[in-house]
Amino acid sequence: MNKEQNEENLNLRDCLALERTTLANERTFLAYARTAVMVFVTGITVFKVFPEILIVFILGWGAVLFSILLFFAGLKRYARRFRSIAVIESNCSTHNKD
Note the pLDDT of residue 65.
Answer: 96
For the question of whether the overall pTM of this predicted structure is more than 0.85, the answer is no
Which H or E element spans position 98? none
For the segment 33-72, what is each residue's pLDDT rounded down to a tens digit? 999 999 999 999 998 898 889 999 999 999 999 999 999 9
Long-range interactions of 7-13: CB distance < 8 A, separation 24+: 11/96
Task: State the distance between the two ends of the chain, measured CA to CA, in whole angstroms.
Answer: 17
